[in-house]
């Protein structure tokens, strides 16, 4: 495979500072770089030279980025074309993707991320996100459907391996949607009980009047409607694993009876007198703070210590560094195949939006977002307008972020990153409000046009 020194890149942009910046950046990386000051010049160069990659701005006079894209694909369909823009409409994005554009990269972009996109694309001819997914495949399927290569998830994987061979009861703590049941299934399938039943019980989903008979079973005539004997869920799980999801929702009476089952491994059916013995392993989970529930007298302390022999804490998605692109691509491929669609990747703009979202529903919410996006998408790439995020959460997130900007913890902060984040948000908002006009956006922000251009295009220069 050819190295950077033999790979040619054409940069087309009507902004001189951006052309010069990309020329210096890519040349420094070892690529052969040609530059064009507008779309017309770019098309002329394409007529006379061949390139592995074309990086073109979208908004240009006369021949815009779409025109350059069409020309490049007409000459050589294998040419990779990457669109860059500080502001692009959804219609333009859809058109570009239909014409064969590889990706959108929003301005201002981070130098390290930009270099990685270029390198990965030219090396693999595949989407960087897909490449990340393949590189992390050992973690994708090592524990059933648990996906992620972040340090936080690696700790979870390590715990699963260490506790699966034991008989100890497991307690899984974590927010809703973090994958607690997947962890429970992974533990069961790696244990010696893997050939016996795995019975999942949603403690919050069974009515209070029915939960005792559902768990312990009942004898004929125990109550109106009990026309035959019926085995309970504990008996059905004999030899296997019982997963008590949302265990914090159990009533005090059921907590007492559950404690006896866990301690003695025996129980009595509703309406029965004979004790039945079961051999089950208990894995419990909740999104509640059980320690607080114990302190408030809402959950039995002795039961808490019985179920919480070994604790596994599931990290929320917002704290799983690097897992968002991996999970997004996994769900994208899953639902593209399921719905018979050809949606291959998520645009850089859309990923930027997802990266700024805090996902109150965690991985489950991300899956739902991607499923809806694939359903709604009309092109072969997920665009921002196909994302459906919680408006309430976005408003709450903005309030939280504004509060974080003024918080100073004993651990300290990275002031430069905080300032860059605030600046980027205001610039994006101003550009959107002014329909992409840099002059109007600069006036709205109270800075010069030159200063705005510097922040949009040259801010990262020299910051490797």
CA torsion angle for 96, 329, 77, 21 (degrees, to 10)? 70
Query: What are the start-end ranges of the H helices in 141-179?
Result: 151-163
Give 73-121 pLDDT, tens digit per residue.
888 888 999 888 766 555 566 667 667 777 777 777 778 878 888 887 7
Asked if CATH classification 3.40.50.150 holds for the domain at 320-405, the reply, yes or no, is no
Mean pLDDT of 265-272: 87
pLDDT at 328: 92
Tokens of 147: 């996906």
The topology (CATH level 3) of 151-313 is Rossmann fold (3.40.50)
Asked if CATH classification 1.10.10.60 holds for the domain at 408-464, the reply, yes or no, is yes
Q: Which of 33, 121, 31, 104 is nearest to 66 (CA)?
A: 104
Domain ranges of the chain: 4-125, 151-313, 320-405, 408-464
pLDDT at 230: 85
- When comparing pLDDT for 129 and 264, which is higher? 264
SS3 311: strand
Instruction: Please tell me if the domain spanning 4-125 has the same topology as the one spanning 151-313.
Output: yes
Distance CA 266, CA 272 (A): 13
Q: Is the pLDDT of residue 370 over 50?
A: yes
Distance CA 315, CA 186 (A): 16
Distance CA 39, CA 46 (A): 10
4-125 to CATH, choices 3.40.50.2300, 3.20.190.10, 3.40.50.11900, 3.40.449.10: 3.40.50.2300
323-338 helix and 348-355 helix, angle to the nearest 10 degrees: 120
Q: Do residues 184 and 307 touch, judged by C-beta distance below 8 A?
A: no
323-338 helix and 362-376 helix, angle to the nearest 10 degrees: 50
- Compute φ and ψ for 127, nearest 5 degrees: -65, 140
Give 438-448 pLDDT, tens digit per residue.
788 888 888 88
């Amino acid at each position: 495979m050819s190295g950077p020194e033999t790979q040619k890149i054409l940069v087309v942009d009507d902004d001189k500072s951006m052309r010069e910046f990309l020329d210096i950046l890519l040349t420094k990386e070892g690529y052969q770089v040609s530059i064009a000051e507008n779309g017309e010049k770019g098309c002329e160069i394409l007529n006379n030279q061949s390139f592995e990659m074309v990086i073109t701005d979208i908004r240009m006079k006369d021949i815009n980025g779409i025109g350059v894209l069409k020309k490049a694909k007409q000459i050589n369909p294998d040419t990779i074309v990457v669109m860059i823009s500080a502001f692009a409409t959804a219609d333009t994005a859809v058109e570009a993707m239909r014409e064969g554009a590889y990706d959108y990269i929003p301005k201002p972009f981070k130098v390290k991320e930009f270099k990685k996109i270029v390198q990965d694309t030219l090396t693999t001819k595949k989407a960087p996100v897909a490449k990340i997914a393949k590189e992390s495949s050992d973690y994708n399927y090592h524990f059933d459907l648990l996906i992620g290569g972040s340090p936080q998830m690696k700790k979870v994987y390590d715990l699963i391996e260490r506790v699966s061979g034991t008989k100890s009861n497991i307690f899984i703590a974590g927010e809703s949607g973090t994958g607690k049941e997947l962890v429970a299934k992974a533990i069961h399938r790696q244990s010696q009980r893997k050939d016996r039943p795995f019975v999942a019980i949603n403690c919050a989903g069974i009515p209070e009047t029915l939960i005792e008979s559902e768990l312990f079973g009942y004898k004929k005539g125990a109550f109106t409607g009990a026309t035959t004997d019926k085995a309970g869920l504990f008996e059905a799980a004999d030899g296997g694993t019982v997963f008590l999801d949302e265990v914090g929702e159990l009533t005090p009476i059921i907590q007492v009876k559950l404690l006896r089952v866990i301690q003695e491994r025996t129980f009595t059916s509703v309406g029965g007198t004979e004790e039945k013995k079961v051999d089950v392993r208990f894995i419990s989970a909740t999104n509640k703070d059980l320690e607080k529930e114990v302190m408030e007298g809402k959950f039995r302390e002795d039961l808490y210590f019985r179920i919480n022999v070994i604790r596994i804490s599931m990290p929320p998605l917002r704290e799983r560094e690097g897992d968002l692109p991996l999970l997004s691509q996994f769900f994208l491929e899953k639902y593209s195949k399921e719905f018979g669609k050809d949606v291959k990747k998520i645009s850089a703009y859309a990923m930027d939006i997802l990266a700024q979202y805090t996902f109150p529903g965690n991985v489950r919410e991300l899956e739902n977002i991607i499923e809806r996006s694939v359903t709604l998408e009309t092109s072969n790439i997920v665009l921002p307008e196909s994302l459906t995020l919680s408006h309430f959460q976005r408003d709450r997130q903005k309030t939280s972020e504004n509060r974080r900007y003024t918080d100073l913890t004993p651990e300290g902060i990275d002031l430069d990153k905080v300032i860059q984040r605030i600046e980027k948000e205001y610039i994006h908002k101003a550009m959107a409000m002014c329909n992409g006009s840099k002059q109007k956006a600069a006036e709205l922000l109270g800075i010069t046009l030159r200063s705005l251009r510097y922040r949009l295009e040259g801010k990262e220069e020299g910051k490797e």
